[in-house]
């Protein structure tokens, strides 16, 4: 019979474990956000953004709880397995978030270019009379500047 007992989490581990769970849920939201960005689904993107904000508040609350309870990470020797998992989750969350930020930048550039092409130059835009019929450019109409 073994005298070793299985590891049981301590009270100080609970906030860290809860943060780890929340970070993993946040990563899932980042993947959903990535899909929304790629498909230009603004409704889905808005929904994900709201859920991310809520989850960030929960993570901040857990960190505050951990600190107020005197929870300290091990500073000497090797980190615990739980601490290593938390660090890995933070690194992965940061990677996913930075990827989405770059994707948003690319999407905005694409939308800006598409809008610019769609609008065309003022010289090539057809002008319309008050009756709605197309009028050739320079046919006596005055364009307002502004």
How many helices (H) and strands (E) the chain has is answered by 3, 2
In a domain, 108, yes or no: yes
Nearest to 73 by CA among 1, 34, 15, 120: 15
Between 31 and 75, name the one with better pLDDT. Answer: 31
What value does the mean pLDDT take over residues 27-35?
Answer: 97
In a domain, 73, yes or no: yes
Q: What percent of the chain has pLDDT over 90?
A: 42
Q: What is the C-alpha to C-alpha distance for residues 23 and 82, in angstroms, rounded to an integer? A: 13
In a domain, 1, yes or no: no
Q: Please name every residue paired with 134 in a beta bridge, in sequence order, or none if there are none.
A: 128
Q: What is the C-alpha to C-alpha distance for residues 36 and 102, in angstroms, rounded to an integer? A: 14
Nearest to 107 by CA among 29, 30, 37: 37
Q: Distance from CA of residue 67 to its chain's centroid?
A: 26
Task: Quote the pLDDT of residue 129.
Answer: 66
In a domain, 131, yes or no: yes
Between 116 and 2, name the one with better pLDDT. Answer: 116
Q: pLDDT by residue (tens digit) across 87-126?
A: 999 999 999 999 999 999 998 898 888 888 878 755 555 5
Between 79 and 59, name the one with better pLDDT. Answer: 59
State how many domains the chain has. Answer: 1
In a domain, 7, yes or no: no
Q: What is the C-alpha to C-alpha distance for residues 118 and 146, in angstroms, rounded to an integer? A: 20
What is the average pLDDT score of the chain?
80
In a domain, 51, yes or no: yes
In a domain, 144, yes or no: no
Q: pTM (2 decimals)?
A: 0.67
In a domain, 146, yes or no: no
Contact 125, 133 (CB under 8 A): no
Range of the domain at 70: 13-135
Residue burial 120-139, b: 16+ Cβ < 10 Å; e: rest = eeeeeeeeeeeeeeeeeeee
30 burial (CB, 10 Å; 0-12 / 13-18 / 19+) is buried
Task: Quote the pLDDT of residue 48.
Answer: 96
Asked whether residue 57 carries a pLDDT value surpassing 90, the answer given is yes
The SS3 call for residue 8 is coil
pLDDT band at 14 (very low <50, low <70, confident <90, very high): confident
């Amino acid at each position: 019979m073994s005298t070793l007992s299985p590891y049981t989490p301590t009270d100080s581990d609970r906030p860290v474990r809860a943060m780890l769970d929340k970070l993993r849920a946040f990563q899932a939201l980042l993947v959903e956000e990535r899909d929304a960005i790629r498909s230009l689904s603004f409704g889905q993107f808005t929904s994900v953004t709201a859920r991310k904000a809520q989850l960030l508040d929960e993570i901040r609350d857990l960190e505050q709880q951990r600190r107020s309870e005197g929870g300290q990470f091990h500073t000497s020797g090797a980190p615990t397995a739980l601490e290593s998992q938390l660090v890995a989750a933070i690194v992965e969350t940061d990677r996913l978030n930075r990827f989405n930020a770059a994707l948003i930048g690319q999407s905005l550039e694409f939308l800006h270019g598409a809008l610019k092409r769609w609008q065309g130059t003022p010289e090539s835009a057809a002008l319309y009379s008050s009756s709605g019929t197309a009028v050739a450019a320079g046919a006596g109409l005055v364009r307002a500047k502004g």
